[in-house]
A and B are shown apart, each in its own frame.
Chain A
C-alpha cells in the first residue's frame, strides 16, 4: 500500500509569489491535514479536509488556503509569500480524521522563500 505522497519535495520561491503544494493520501483515506514545521514554532496545524470540506482550521492568515478533490487528493496554496513562510510543510492522511484513528504523514515539502 503506497504511503502519503507530497510533491514537490523542495521548492524555492521569491517573496510575493504564490505556491501550491500537493498531497496524495493513502488509498481509501478521506481525511487530509496540513501542518507547518519551523525551528521556532515547531509543528503547527493549518487545516483539515474531509470529503472535499474543510472541517477544521488553525490560526494562520488567510494567505494560507487549501482544498480537497473528489479523489481525496489535497492542495495547499500560500499567496503573497513572506520570508517567514519558509518551512517544512507536512500533510497527514487518516481514514476518517476522527478521534482514535492514526494519522500517517508524507515526507513533506521543504519551501524556501528568498
Chain B
C-alpha cells in the first residue's frame, strides 16, 4: 500500500490564487520530496525537505513538514496556468522503519491541480 496519502485528490483554482496540497505518511522518514508530473510524462523534482527541517522555500513553493503529525504541505503561491499538473509527495523511509531505504521512494496517489487562466 502507498505510504503517503494526498489531499485533496483534485484541486481547481483561478490563476493568481494560492494552491495548498497536503500529504500524510505512516512511518518515520529520512526525507520527503515533492514532484510534479505533466500529463503522463516524467516527474520533475520540486523540493526535498529533511526530517529535521520544518519549512523550506523555493521560488513560489513553500513546503512544511510536521513529523509529529506525519504530514507535509505544499503551497504554491500566485498560481499560473502552467502550474496545471499532478503533484506527488514521496517519502524515503528511515532505516529503522524496516529494511534498506536506498533509492526507494514511496509515493502518494497525487493531487491533480488545475489552474484556470
Show the binding face of A for B, using Cβ within 8 Å.
Answer: 4, 6, 31-33, 35, 42-43, 45, 48-50, 55-56, 58, 88, 90, 92, 94, 97-100, 102-108, 110
CA distance A11 to B116 in the complex (A): 34
Report yes or no: B104 in contact with A42, Cβ–Cβ below 8 A.
no
B85 part of interface (Cβ distance < 8 Å): no
- Of B11-19, B39-47, B62-70, B74-82, the segment with at least 4 beta carbons within 8 Å of chain A is B39-47
By the criterion CB–CB under 8 Å, are A48 and B104 in contact?
A: yes
24 contacts between A and B (CB under 8 A): A4-B42, A31-B102, A33-B104, A42-B107, A42-B108, A42-B109, A42-B110, A43-B105, A45-B104, A49-B103, A55-B103, A56-B100, A56-B102, A90-B42, A92-B43, A94-B103, A97-B103, A100-B48, A100-B92, A102-B48, A103-B33, A103-B103, A105-B42, A108-B40
The residues of B that contact A58 with a CB separation of less than 8 Å are 104
| Closest partner residue, chain B, to A33 (CB atom) | B103
Instruction: Specify the main secondary structure of chain A where it touches its partner.
Output: strand
- Of A33, A43, A56, A106, most buried by chain B (CB within 10 Å of CB) is A43
Distance of A94 Cα from B90 Cα, bound (Å): 15
CA distance A12 to B89 in the complex (A): 30
Q: Would you give the shortest CB distance from B59 to chain A, in whole angstroms?
A: 16
Cβ of B71 under 8 Å from chain A: no
Is A90 touching B43 in the complex (CB atoms < 8 A)?
yes
- Measured CB to CB, the closest approach of chain A to B89, in angstroms, equals 11
